[in-house]
Amino acid sequence: MKPAQFTYHRPASLAEALALLRTHGSSAKSLAGGQSLGPMLNMRLARPDHLVDLNDLIELDSVRVSDDMVEIGALTRHHRVANAPELRRSLPLLSAAAASIGHYAIRQRGTIGGSLAHADPAAQLPLIAVTLGASLVIAGLQGTRNVVAADFLQSIMTVDLRDGELITALRFPLPVGGFWAFEHFSRRHGDFAIVSVALNFAQDADGKIDALRLGLGGVDTVPLRLPEIEARAQGRPADEDTIRELAAATASAIAPEDSAQVPASYRRRLAETLVIRAFQSALNREEGA
C-alpha cells in the first residue's frame, strides 16, 4: 500500500496554488489534511500526477464570527471546529458534529474544506453545511464564486468544483433557534455513520416548534434536507406525539437503497429512531441549560 509516483508541489500562496491547479488541470489533486486522500493514494484509488499541498496556506485556517454569519477558512482542522469557543457558542451543532469525526488524531489534521470537497455521503460536515444552509466560497484564477452547499454536493464524492478551483471558506448563517442536536449511529465508534440526523429549531412563546431545519446523512447519495417535514413541524408543540409523528414521516420521506451490509429498511428505521433521539436531546439540553 504505497502511493504511485507523483510530483509534489508546495505552494506558498493561494495565487500560486491556483496557478498550479490551472496548469495541471485534471492531473492534479489538492492535498489538505490528507485523512481521506491519504488512504486513497495509499490504496491507489487516486493516482494524480501532481499533488498540490495546501498546508502552507495558513491564512485559510481561520474562524470569523460576525453579526449574521460565521466564516470558516477551508483549511481549518476538525479539532479547531470542534473546540473553538466562538464556534461552540455560535454554531454548537457544527462543533458537536466535528467532534464526532473519525478519531482524535484524524481530527488534528482533517479540514472542513477537505471534507466538503471529498463529499462522502455519510460525512458529518457536508450534512451540517446542508442543514444550516451554508455556502462555499470557491476561488479560481478568474475570481471567486459562492455556491450553496446543497448545490455544491452533487452525488457520491462528486461536487461542483472545476479544474483549477479551490474551496477557500465556508459561510454559515447564524442559526435561528437555540435547539439543536446531532445524532448518528455507527457499528464502531469513529466509523462513518450508517445514518445521521442534524436538526436545529426555535420555539415560539407558546413552546411551538419554529423554523425547524432537519437534515439526514447516509440515506441518499448526498445529505438531504427535508423541507416537507420542516413545514409539517411549523407551529406544532414539541411534545412526544409530534416528535413521533415527524420521525415516522421522515422515515417515509426518504428512499435509501439496499447495500451489501445495510438493508434500506434498516436505514429507514434508524432514521426514525435518530430523529426521535435528536428532538429529545435538543429539548433536554435546552431545559438543562
For binding to other proteins (CB under 8 A), which residues are involved?
Answer: 1-8, 10, 31, 34-35, 38-39, 41-43, 47, 49, 51, 53, 55, 79, 102-106, 108-109, 188-190
To the nearest whole angstrom, how small is the minimum distance from the Cβ of residue 212 to other proteins? 29
- Nearer residue to other proteins within complex by CB, 123 or 129: 123
- 98, 118, 175 from 151: Cα distances, Å: 22, 15, 20
To the nearest whole angstrom, how small is the minimum distance from the Cβ of residue 156 to other proteins? 19
- Nearer residue to other proteins within complex by CB, 8 or 260: 8
Which residues, at least 6 apart from 264, have a Cβ–Cβ distance to it below 8 Å?
A: 255, 256, 257, 258
**Distance of alpha carbon 178 from alpha carbon 167, whole angstroms:** 29
- Nearer residue to other proteins within complex by CB, 42 or 142: 42
- Nearer residue to other proteins within complex by CB, 185 or 266: 185
To the nearest whole angstrom, how small is the minimum distance from the Cβ of residue 243 to other proteins? 27
To the nearest whole angstrom, how small is the minimum distance from the Cβ of residue 21 to other proteins? 17
- Nearer residue to other proteins within complex by CB, 42 or 144: 42
C-alpha cell belonging to residue 95: 462543533
**Distance of alpha carbon 96 from alpha carbon 172, whole angstroms:** 15
- Nearer residue to other proteins within complex by CB, 5 or 261: 5
The HSE-up count of residue 284 (CA atoms within 13 Å, CB side) is 8
To the nearest whole angstrom, how small is the minimum distance from the Cβ of residue 58 to other proteins? 11
To the nearest whole angstrom, how small is the minimum distance from the Cβ of residue 7 to other proteins? 5
To the nearest whole angstrom, how small is the minimum distance from the Cβ of residue 77 to other proteins? 9
Residue 69 near residue 173 (C-beta atoms within 8 A): yes
Which residues make beta-bridge pairs with 20? none
**Distance of alpha carbon 161 from alpha carbon 180, whole angstroms:** 30
- Nearer residue to other proteins within complex by CB, 49 or 257: 49
Residue 264 near residue 271 (C-beta atoms within 8 A): no
Exposure b/e, 229-258, CB count within 10 A at least 16 = b: bbebbeebebeeebbeebbebbbebbebee
